[in-house]
Amino acid sequence: MKKLDVYLLREMMVPFLIGTIAVVLMFQANTYIFLAKTLPNLETVPKKAIFQYIYFQTPQYLNMTLLVGMALGSSLALSRLARESELTAIRASGVRILRSLYPVVAFGILVGIGNFYLAEKIMPPMAKKATSLGLQIGALAFTSDLKPNVVVSLSNFTANFGVVRKKGKDAIEFEDAWLFQQPVKGEEEVYFSKRGKYQGGVWTFEDARVRRIKDGLDVITTSRAKSLIINQRIIAENLFSPIMPEEQTAKELLEQISIQRKNHLDTKQLEVKYLERFSVPAACVVFAIVGPVFAIVFARNGGFVGVFLSIVLVMLYYNAHVISTEILSKVSFISAFTAAWLPNILFTILGVVAIRRLE
């Protein structure tokens, strides 16, 4: 029986790797296309930074694409065995179909464990790096689009620049900069800086002259500041980029849930994200059961059936997963556990019924 197990695992390995890598590459290409369409001056961003951002995002892609590889590998392997009558020979030797699925399920468990390790140990720190780098890329791409006499928003200021010059790929210099802010209602502060620079998310306005005006007419005070510094990147990270579930481990999610419960806040969505950390890896085992069964049933219809079934099963699971975790989870009488595990439960039932009928 060991020879049979090794033979089945060898049949699965190539389509599993091809399916996983192909989908990851597709996600990576889509990320680059998204950046190219969204950011106005992507050519000013170092290519190394773009590839690093895509690299840091890759563990999040793998978290879901391992399911694709599992579905493709298991379906193609068993489909070929059934189509070329090898499965018939195996059954004729006294081996049940269910026994021939043991190595497939074992491989699914192994992939699921790897998926959980990826989501717990690799994805959170990489996601944090991707978020930080993404903010820097966005700031650099948008600031490089500054033109003379164009008004832009910086923190709580409105700014206008007379002359703007690029200084390399990650810095600019400017002259005749005006900044306006309203500290209190009815009053306005006007800053004028003869020169300044931007680098790494930090705006520095040198020798800034400050006038405080009331009701647009009366000058209340005048003063000078040696330099005015606006750290736009820190503001963006702290105020507009809260920590996402992908950046947290299961333990950190549990701690956040506990804190929110003590403050009498709704924790259901966080609970769903926490339970997803386990349900998604478990889906690798589900596909190891469901994929081969349907591949065997429809194997006689052609070699493409295994690929087609894999695509259909993955699409059905993804849609069920999104509907359950994003829509049904918001229904009051559906628990967080049900929302996170419902797709796995439904597909497992489907696989068990199909196995019984096949036997």
Same structural domain for residues 211 and 275?
no
Gap between the Cα atoms of 288 and 318, Å rounded: 16
Cα-based distances in Å from 85 to 79, 147, 309? 10, 70, 19
Mean pLDDT value of segment 94-104 = 77
For 222, the 3-state DSSP assignment is: strand
Please state, in angstroms and rounded to a whole number, the distance separating the CA atoms of residues 226 and 205: 9
351/323: higher pLDDT: 323
Range of the domain at 334: 2-141+243-358
DSSP-derived 3-state class of residue 240: helix
Whether residue 10 sits in one domain with residue 116: yes
Q: Using pLDDT thresholds of 50, 70 and 90, give the confidence band for residue 239.
A: very low
* Whether residue 103 is found in the same domain as residue 170: no
* pLDDT tens, residue by residue, 277-303: 999 999 999 988 888 877 777 766 665
136 and 267 inside one domain: yes
**pLDDT over 90 at 74, yes or no:** no
Whether residue 45 is found in the same domain as residue 71: yes
pTM: 0.69
Read off the tokens for 237: 């990270």
Q: Are residues 108 and 75 in the same domain?
A: yes
CB neighbours of 156 closer than 8 A, spacing ≥ 6?
181
pLDDT tens-digit readout, 146-190: 555 655 666 666 777 777 776 765 677 878 887 777 777 777 878
Whether the per-residue pLDDT at 17 is higher than 80: the answer is yes
Domain shared by 9 and 55, yes or no: yes
> 107 with 189, same domain?
no
pLDDT at 233: 47
CB-based contact 142:61 (threshold 8 Å): no
% of the chain residues with pLDDT over 70: 81
Express as a percent the part of the chain with pLDDT over 90. 22
Q: Name which of 190-199, 210-219, 312-321 the model is least confident about.
A: 210-219
What residues contact 312, with CB distance under 8 A and at least 6 apart?
A: none
State the average pLDDT for the chain. Answer: 79
Regarding whether 164 and 136 lie in a shared domain, the answer is: no
- pLDDT for residue 199: 73
Q: What is the pLDDT of residues 25-55, one digit of tens each?
A: 999 999 988 888 877 666 767 788 889 999 9
Where does a domain end: 240, 255, 271? Answer: 240
Q: Is-contact 116 278, C-beta < 8 A?
A: yes
Inter-residue contact 208 to 191 (CB < 8 Å): yes
- Report the candidate in 311, 296, 293, 290 with the shortest Cα–Cα distance to residue 68: 311
pLDDT of amino acid 235:
37
Q: Are residues 33 and 176 in the same domain?
A: no
- In the listed set 240, 268, 301, which residue is the last one of a domain according to the structure? 240
Q: Which residue, of 207, 240, 273, is where some domain finishes? A: 240
The domain total for the chain is 2
| 4, pLDDT greater than 50 | yes
pLDDT of the residue at 221: 61
CB 310 within 8 A of CB 293: no
Residues 152 and 175 in one domain: yes
Residue 338, pLDDT score: 94
> Are 134 and 164 found together in one domain?
no
User: What is the model's pLDDT at position 315?
Assistant: 86
Written as six digits, the tokens of 20 are 């996983």
Q: CA torsion angle for 199, 203, 206, 212 (degrees, to 10)?
A: 170
Residue 232 above 90 pLDDT? no
3-state helix vs strand vs coil in the chain, percent to 5:
65, 20, 15
- Asked if the model's pLDDT at residue 140 lies above 70, the reply is no
